[in-house]
Structure 1
Amino acid sequence: MTDHYDSRETRDPAHREAELFARLPDVLRRAMAAPAYAERFKSIDPAGVTSRSALAGLPVLRKAELPALHKAAPPFGGFVPGLPGSFGRLFTSPGPIFEPEPVHADPWRGARALFAAGFRPGDVVLNTFSYHLTPGGFIFDASARALGCAVIPAGPGNTEAQFELIEAYRPVGYSGTPDFLKILLDAATAAGRDVSSIKRALVSGAAFPKSLQEEIKARGVEAYQAFGTADLGLIAFETQAREGMVLNEDLILEIVGPGTGDPVAEGDVGEIVVTSLDPDHPWIRLALGDLTAALPGPSPCGRTNMRIKGWMGRADQTTKVKGMFVRPEQIAEIGKRHPELGRLRLVVTREGETDVMTLRAEAASLDTALREAVNATLRSVTKLGGNVALVAPQSLPNDGKVIADERT
């Protein structure tokens, strides 16, 4: 049994990088057939966007902006080339955000993730993600069928009916949330039903803490995690190495400072930004609002694509201080005005009945003049008074957090 989906997973990283950026100009031209992308990139020559540095010069599109954009120019905000009728299925997610499903095989790029979790052609898979309006069920359904699996479109809930299906079809695989997998196993034990055919699982959509991982494994199921979104499908996935998540093929992933489009230093925590090379539905620098960090080197499983630590929290740390919103973008602006500073963290506390904010800033020099200059910039950018505390370089945590609301 082969360990990899295909040879693309183990190719030289430099070759993969060159191939991705050789394809990017054509994908960018295709994106610019959509009016919103055409406007955003009107001063850009796609032929020149052939490197990470060039890509980093393009504006970021934040997922948090999509509901308003879709409402202003339904259904896709002007970011999708082609009409709704040119797609196979049309979905909605909370926001609302509207997502089309391309008609080509494995449109959500999930077959690789299932393969890495041990699924193989001919397996029967119980898919418990919802098939109603949102794309989750179809993401995993289409991915499993692209791999050559038969799918039971169970959806969540109704465990009694699911037991009947499991005992009849004997699925070896499960896809769904880790929470529902536990519910299913617990309910089967309580009811004396046989679900022992399920030996492996690909889970997503909810936290999968170590304690739950160990419990699921002790009950005979090898479960692996996948990270994805309704917009992009499967972005990264666990492998048998169990060391981070491997980036999917045909994607360019950047990790940027929260509130910016600027890539962070290697290994630093930052916001995930994804460029998809699907010509039918390209995304150019879509900022997901999720935090992660890159892991060094290739995975021990032999896959050579970039690895990430997985989901590490939310990048949108906007909070309200004295009735005014303070955003990560504003903290990033302070850093740009004072390049001599390192990491920044705005800590918001409460003293009596008053909000207090203190900007903790890494600096090699702790002199009073610098502190006063940064304090003036803090007031100028946020329109609020606050304190500045200069701290030693590398003393703030590398966790991607730029605003910490510590009010009880």
Structure 2
Amino acid sequence: MSNFFDTLEHRPHASREAAQLAALPQQIAHAKTGAPAFTTILKNVDAQAVTSRAALAQLPVTRKHELLERQQAARQAGGSDPFGGFSALRYGAAMPRVFASPGTIYEPDSTRKDYWRLARALYASGFRPGQLVHNCFSYHFVPAGAMMESGAHALGCTVFPGGTGQTEQQVQAMAELKPAGYVGTPSFLKIIVEKAAEMKLALPTVTRAMVSGEAFPPSLRDWLAERGITAYQCYASADLGLIAYETEAREGLVLDEGVIVEIVRPGTGDPVAEGEVGELVVTTLNPDYPLIRFGTGDLSAVLPGSCPTGRTNTRIKGWMGRADQTVKVRGMFVHPGQVADIARRFPEVLKARLVVSGEMANDSMHFQAETASAPEGLDQRIGEVIRDVTKLRGTVQLVAPGSLPNDGKVIEDARSYK
């Protein structure tokens, strides 16, 4: 049996890039006509001109808080669109379910086969057609359970909808139904394995797992492996579906074939250099929920080269923290976008980082700027702009290129909270 879910995974990288960029203008045009929010957000955009990554990078980034704000505004206005204008679907046969994520953010389901594209990640985790999948993601309110189930069905698997909790019943069902593996959070899988040992029930068929929804440290991966379970992780969201997935090479996560991913400097829409940590911004090619340059709020970085398994799509390091680094300094909020605004005003500044130190109510700001050349008075001029932009005073430190950490932080909160 093939090691690949389909031929898309091992096509030449240039072919993939060309195909995705060729589909981009149509998707943007569709978003503008089918999703009212993007009619407004992209009103001045010529969809047919967006045929390159450089052109895509000129479009505005829509972040999750903006999606939530538009949904809330629509509800408060008594509108009939609970999705804030981001869905191209309406209530009816094409939308079998509606889900709710914390916030509350509502997401549409679709009748489209493998709508969230999870079959690819399940295949990479070792699941195959004709197997039983024990699904322990929640089926209540949130879409996680349905996301995984739709992927398993597309792969040709049967699903046991275990959901969350009821650990003893989970163990009993696994012992009696003999699933090929588990899908859910890694911590709950550990709880199930420990409960099975306590109940003295063997789970010999549960030899594989695909986990998501929380951190999956190597220590837990090894703990499961010692008990005969090979587990891989995937990175997905209710808004975007599958973004990236782990393979047996265990060298980062391979991007899904249905998304275009950029990594930008937090607080901006500006792509960073390859290998630099930044915020993941995703454009989905899903026509039912056509999110264009959607900021995930998650940090990651591109890994060089291709996956040793032969999959040719770009790899990312995985989840590396949150991009929303807003802090409150002496009663004033300071945002990553403000740091970027300050740096953008000085061509000499290559990279910037704001460090907030001291103790709460007695804190101070230090603006660190990488620069290859420092004209006399540059630090003083930057200091004046800091005050103009943030309404706060801050010291300025000019450092050599490459001095600042590659961790995606634009604002570092180094204060003592004792």
TM range (shorter): over 0.9
Aligned mate of 2:334, from 326, 350, 375: 326
Amino acid at match of 1:5: F
The size of the alignment, in residue pairs, is 408
1:18-44, Cα deviation, whole Å (9 max, x unpaired): 111111111112111222111111111
Q: Name the counterpart of 2:162.
A: 154
Q: How far apart, CA to CA, are the structure 1 residues paired with 2:157 and 2:90?
A: 31
Question: Does 2:400 match 1:399?
Answer: no
Q: Name the counterpart of 2:280.
A: 272
Question: Does 2:139 match 1:138?
Answer: no
Q: How far apart, CA to CA, are the structure 2 residues paired with 1:105 and 1:261?
A: 32
Q: How does 1:6-405 map to 2 (within 5 A)?
A: 6-33=6-33, 34-74=35-75, 75-85=82-92, 86-350=94-358, 353-366=361-374, 368-405=376-413
Q: How far apart, CA to CA, are the structure 2 residues paired with 1:163 and 1:15?
A: 46
The Cα of 1:82 is off from its aligned counterpart by: 2.9
Q: Is the 1:290–1:312 contact (alpha carbons within 8 Å) kept by the matching residues of 2?
A: yes
Q: How far apart, CA to CA, are the structure 1 residues paired with 2:65 and 2:361?
A: 32
Q: How far apart, CA to CA, are the structure 2 residues paired with 1:117 and 1:245?
A: 12
Q: Is the 1:275–1:286 contact (alpha carbons within 8 Å) kept by the matching residues of 2?
A: yes
The Cα of 1:351 is off from its aligned counterpart by: 5.3
The Cα of 1:232 is off from its aligned counterpart by: 1.0
- Give SS of 1:279's match: coil
The ranges of structure 1 where at least 4 consecutive aligned residues each deviate by more than 3 angstroms after the TM superposition are: 365-368
The Cα of 1:368 is off from its aligned counterpart by: 5.0
1:196-247, Cα deviation, whole Å (9 max, x unpaired): 2100000000111111111111111000010011111111000011110000
Farther-moved stretch of structure 1 (376-385 vs 362-371):
362-371
Amino acid at match of 1:383: K
Q: Is the 1:91–1:133 contact (alpha carbons within 8 Å) kept by the matching residues of 2?
A: yes
1:284-333, Cα deviation, whole Å (9 max, x unpaired): 00001000000111111000011100000000000100001000000110
Amino acid at match of 2:193: L
Q: How far apart, CA to CA, are the structure 1 residues paired with 2:287 and 2:97?
A: 17
Q: TM-score, normalised by structure 2?
A: 0.96
The Cα of 1:64 is off from its aligned counterpart by: 2.1
Q: Is the 1:244–1:295 contact (alpha carbons within 8 Å) kept by the matching residues of 2?
A: yes
Amino acid at match of 1:188: A
- Give SS of 1:32's match: helix
Q: Is the 1:344–1:402 contact (alpha carbons within 8 Å) kept by the matching residues of 2?
A: yes
The Cα of 1:339 is off from its aligned counterpart by: 2.1
Q: Is the 1:293–1:308 contact (alpha carbons within 8 Å) kept by the matching residues of 2?
A: yes
Q: How far apart, CA to CA, are the structure 1 residues paired with 2:28 and 2:361?
A: 52
Q: Is the 1:239–1:246 contact (alpha carbons within 8 Å) kept by the matching residues of 2?
A: yes
- Give SS of 1:99's match: strand
Q: How far apart, CA to CA, are the structure 1 residues paired with 2:243 and 2:361?
A: 44
- Any stretches of 5+ residues in structure 2 without a counterpart? 76-81
Q: Is the 1:360–1:388 contact (alpha carbons within 8 Å) kept by the matching residues of 2?
A: yes
The Cα of 1:364 is off from its aligned counterpart by: 2.1
The Cα of 1:353 is off from its aligned counterpart by: 4.8
Q: How far apart, CA to CA, are the structure 2 residues paired with 1:400 and 1:287?
A: 14
1:125-171, Cα deviation, whole Å (9 max, x unpaired): 11000000100000001111110111000001101111221122101
The Cα of 1:389 is off from its aligned counterpart by: 1.0
- Give SS of 2:292's match: strand
Q: How far apart, CA to CA, are the structure 2 residues paired with 1:133 and 1:90?
A: 8
Q: Is the 1:64–1:289 contact (alpha carbons within 8 Å) kept by the matching residues of 2?
A: no
Q: Is the 1:270–1:315 contact (alpha carbons within 8 Å) kept by the matching residues of 2?
A: yes
Q: Is the 2:171–2:195 contact (alpha carbons within 8 Å) kept by the matching residues of 1?
A: no
Q: How far apart, CA to CA, are the structure 1 residues paired with 2:244 and 2:368?
A: 33
Q: Is the 1:102–1:281 contact (alpha carbons within 8 Å) kept by the matching residues of 2?
A: no
